[in-house]
Structure 1
Amino acid sequence: MPRLTDARKELRRTQIAEAAVRCFSRNGMERTSIADISAESGLSTGSIYAHYRNKADLVRGAAREMLHRRGDTIGEYAAADVPPDPDELLARLTAAIDPVHARVGVQTWSESTTDPAVRAVVVDATDRMRAMLHDCVTAWLVKVEHHEPAPARELAAPIAHRVMALYQAELLYTALRTPAGQEPTGQAPAAQAPTDRKPTEENA
């Protein structure tokens, strides 16, 4: 049997992680077995264990896939000639929330309170996304508000923290509002972000 190339291995890992996300969303992490993920992905149990050591490793892979998608989007915002202000950034992120991913995200937070391996995944994913938001807010401050880069990064930190907190709150709301199997056909509605003023260091 020919060996998988690195690219094929990465595609296979992604296929398995996406199947795991769907299973976790429907059944919950505790009630999802490797056999369930095998059936969902169309791959053998042996193939899954060839790419992921255990369920915690699968949770890590699923979190990585979800973060990768958000990271690409946030990176595009930061690179734009006119990056979105914090209110618009939050509105765009919440409008794009997938109820399936929201439920899995909330389950992962719960698991992290008792499972050190899952907690490490959650802390790493949260820190990385906050760093991406920090970069995006800094870009807005520099390109649109015309701050110098160094003070812009300092000012951006509490604003990015606020955006992150509000985004996580919307993830929880979406997870509770949309039971498994009742996902809307379109995107989740955007949060009602304030529009009369931009967040500053004082109100972040």
Structure 2
Amino acid sequence: MPRLTDARKELRRTQIAEAAVRCFSRNGLKRTSIADITAESGLSAGSIYAHYRNKADLVQAAARETLDKRDGTISEYAAADAPPSPDELLSRLIAAIDPAEARVGVQTWGESTTDPAIRDIVADTTDRMRAMVHDCVTAWLVKVEHHDPPHAREFATPIAHQVMALYQAELLYTALRTPAEETPS
């Protein structure tokens, strides 16, 4: 049997994580089984387990997959000659919210209150997202508002916190107003 290349392995992992997000969005974290993810992905259970040890690994992969999408976009914003203002950054982040990902995010937050492994995932992804937002706000303060970098980094901290809080509120709102039955799969 031929071995998978690293690129194929990564593609397969992404395929499985995306299938898991769709299942988690429809059924919830607790009610989704590996069999559901197997059926959704079109792969065998052996293939799933070759890439992920268990459902917790899939939850982590789904969270990271979503964050990686935001990472590239926010990094591009920060690198621009004129990064977006905090208001514009928030508007862009909100416009990019996927209802299925929002539902999975909210479910993950709920699970984090009782599951230490999930709590670590949520804390890590939230910290990474806040750091990316902080970097983008800092870049805006330096490049557009012409603050000196040390002052800009300090001044960006509470702004990034507010942008994150508003973004998370919008994620919750999106998750609550968009039932799984109403969204395309």
Same fold flag (TM > 0.5):
yes
Distance 2:113 2:119 in 1: 7
Structure 2 counterpart of 1:132: 132
Matched residues, percent identical? Answer: 81
1:140-179 Cα offsets, whole Å, 9 max, x none, are: 0000000011110000011001000000000000000010
1:182 is matched with 182
Q: For residue 113 of structure 1, what is the aligned residue in structure 2? A: 113
Q: Could you say what the CA RMSD is over the residues aligned between the two structures, in angstroms?
A: 1.1
Runs of 5+ consecutive residues of structure 1 not aligned to the other structure: 186-204
For structure 2, the 5+ residue unaligned runs are none
Measured after TM superposition, the shift of residue 24 of structure 1 is: 0.2
Matches within 5 A, 1:1-204: 1-183=1-183
Quote how far apart the aligned CAs of 1:95 are.
1.1
Q: Note the alpha carbon deviations across 1:101-125, whole angstroms, 9 max, x for none.
A: 0000000001111111111000000
SS at match of 1:31: coil
Structure 1 stretches of at least 4 aligned residues deviating more than 3 Å after TM superposition: none
2: CA distance, partners of 1:47 / 1:40: 13
TM-score, normalised to structure 1, is: 0.89
In the alignment, the residues of structure 1 paired with residue 78 and residue 168 of structure 2 have an alpha-carbon distance, to the nearest angstrom, of 20
Query: How many pairs are equivalent?
Result: 185
Separation (CA, whole Å) in 1 of partners of 2:129 and 2:184: 26
Which structure: greater helix fraction?
Answer: 2
Task: Give the drift of 1:96.
Answer: 1.2
For residues 50-85 of structure 1, give each alpha carbon's deviation from its aligned partner in whole angstroms, at most 9, with x where no partner exists: 100011110000001000001111011101111000
Aligned partners of 1:113 and 1:84: how far apart in 2?
34
SS where residue 142 of structure 1 aligns? Answer: helix
Q: Distance in 2 between matches of 1:141 and 1:25?
A: 37
Normalising by structure 2, we get a TM-score of 0.98
